[in-house]
């Protein structure tokens, strides 16, 4: 389980990368990735290519990130490369209707 973020002002992107299990234990670190920087005009990307499992609190964290994207006038939010297992969880919760998912 780990979480990291990369800010690229030139490309206008903030990428949050979650690896391993995406669950409640990442809560604080996850919020810290975006809360203390100005994301206005930035494209937010949640890269899940290295995450292998996710629980419902991770769904909750995604909703928080979505809310932050809207409130802080970021350009938008993309969920990138979820594994088949994670994509299935997103689909069961019908989050694919709520979030932009890029395979």
Partner 1 sequence: MLEHDIASFLNRAVKGTALVADPTRISRLLLGKILGDIGYKVIFAENGKEAVTLFKQQHIDIVFMDVFMPEVAGYQAAAQIKQISGRQFTPILFVTAETDVDSLVKCIACGGDDILFKPVHQAVLKAKVLGFERTRAIYNEISRLHSQRQEEEELAERVFSSAVSNSLCADKELLISLNSASTFSGDVVFAEYRPNGDINFLLGDFTGHGLRAAIGAMPVADIFRGMTRKGYSADAILQQINKRLFRLLPTGMFMAGILVEASLQQQSLRVWNGGMPELLIFNNQLGDIRDRALSESLPLGIQVDLEFELKQLKWLKGDHVLLLSDGVTEAVNQHQQMFGQQRLEHAIKNKRDHASFIASIQEQLHSFCQNAPQLDDISMVELPDLLSRPSALEENSNANITVQKGCWTWQLSLDADSLKTLMPIPLLMTSLQELSVNHVDRNILFTVVSELYNNAYEHGVLKLDSSLKNSAEGFENYYHQRKLRADQLELGWVKISISYDGKVNRDFTIVVEDSGAGFDQLKLSQQAKPQQYSGRGLLLVESLCESLDILENGSVLKVVYRCQY
Residues 6+ apart with CB under 8 A from 48: 18, 22, 54, 79, 80, 81, 82, 83, 86
Instruction: Answer positive or negative: Cα dihedral of 67, 71, 72, 74.
Output: positive
Distinct helix (H) and strand (E) counts, the chain: 3, 5
CB of 12 to partner 1, least distance (A): 25
Which residue, 12 or 60, is less far from partner 1 as judged by CB? Answer: 60
Select the residue interacting with partner 1 from 11, 38, 98, 102 (CB under 8 A). Answer: 98
Q: Does 97 bind partner 1 (CB under 8 A)?
A: yes
Q: How far is the CB of 92 from partner 1 (least distance, A)?
A: 5
Give whichever of 11 and 85 is closer to partner 1, judged by the CB atom: 85
Stretch that binds partner 1, among 8-16, 33-41, 53-61, 74-82 (CB under 8 A): 53-61
Enumerate residues 8-27 that contact partner 1 by CB under 8 A: 24
Helices (H), 2-77: 27-35, 56-71
């Amino acid at each position: 389980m780990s979480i990291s973020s990369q800010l690229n002002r030139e490309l206008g992107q903030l990428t949050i990368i979650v690896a391993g299990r995406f669950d409640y234990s990442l809560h604080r670190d996850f919020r810290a990735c975006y809360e203390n920087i100005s994301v206005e005009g930035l494209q937010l990307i949640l890269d899940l290519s290295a995450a292998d499992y996710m629980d419902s609190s991770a769904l909750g964290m995604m909703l928080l990130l979505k809310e932050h994207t809207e409130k802080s006038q970021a350009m938008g939010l993309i969920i990138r490369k979820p594994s088949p297992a994670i994509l299935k969880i997103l689909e069961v919760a019908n989050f694919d209707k709520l979030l932009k998912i890029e395979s």
